[in-house]
Amino acid sequence: MKQKILERLGYSNRIERMFGRGIMIALTGQRRVGKSCVMRRIYNHIAENEENHVIYIDKEKTSFDMIANYQDLEAYVAANIVEGKENYLFIDEVQEISDFEKALLSIQSDDTCQIMITGSNAKMLSGELATRLRGRYIAYRIRGLCYEEFLTFHELKDDDASLNLYLQYGGLPQLRSLGLENTDLVEDYLDNVYNTIVLRDIIERENIRNIPLLRTLLKFVSDNIGKQFSATSIVKFLKNQNTETSAKMILTYLEYLSNAFIIDRVNRYDIHGKRLFELGDKFYFEDLGIRNHIIGGNRRFDIEKVMENAVYIHLCRMGYKVYVGQMYKAEIDFVAEKADSVAYVQVTYLLASEETVEREFGNLKLIKDSHPKYVISMDRLYSQTNIDGIKHIHLRDFLKMTTLV
Q: Give the model confidence (pLDDT) of 145-198 as tens digits.
A: 999 999 999 999 999 999 999 999 999 999 999 999 999 999 999 999 999 877
Q: Which residue has the higher pLDDT, 147 or 296?
A: 147
The H or E element spanning position 276 is: strand 275-276
- Residues 250-292 pLDDT 10s: 999 999 999 999 999 999 988 988 888 777 799 999 999 999 9
Q: Which pTM value belongs to this model?
A: 0.92
Please list the alpha-helical segments (H only) found in 92-210: 100-110, 127-132, 147-154, 160-169, 183-192, 200-206
- Residues 40-86 pLDDT 10s: 999 999 999 988 999 999 999 999 999 999 999 999 999 999 999 99
In this structure, of 107-111, 116-120, 298-302, the range with the lowest mean pLDDT score is 298-302
CB atoms within 10 A of CB 16: 16
Could you tell me the pLDDT band of residue 1, with boundaries at 50, 70 and 90? very low
CATH class of 9-141: alpha beta
The full set of domain ranges for the chain reads 9-141, 212-398
Is 80 exceeded by the pLDDT of residue 2? no
DSSP string covering 17-72: TTTTSS-EEEEE-STTSSHHHHHHHHHHHHHTSTTEEEEEEETTSGGGTT--BHHH
Could you tell me the pLDDT band of residue 383, with boundaries at 50, 70 and 90? low
* Residues in Cβ contact with 193 at an 8 Å cutoff, skipping those fewer than 6 apart: 31, 32, 172, 290
Q: Which residue has the higher pLDDT, 196 or 378?
A: 378
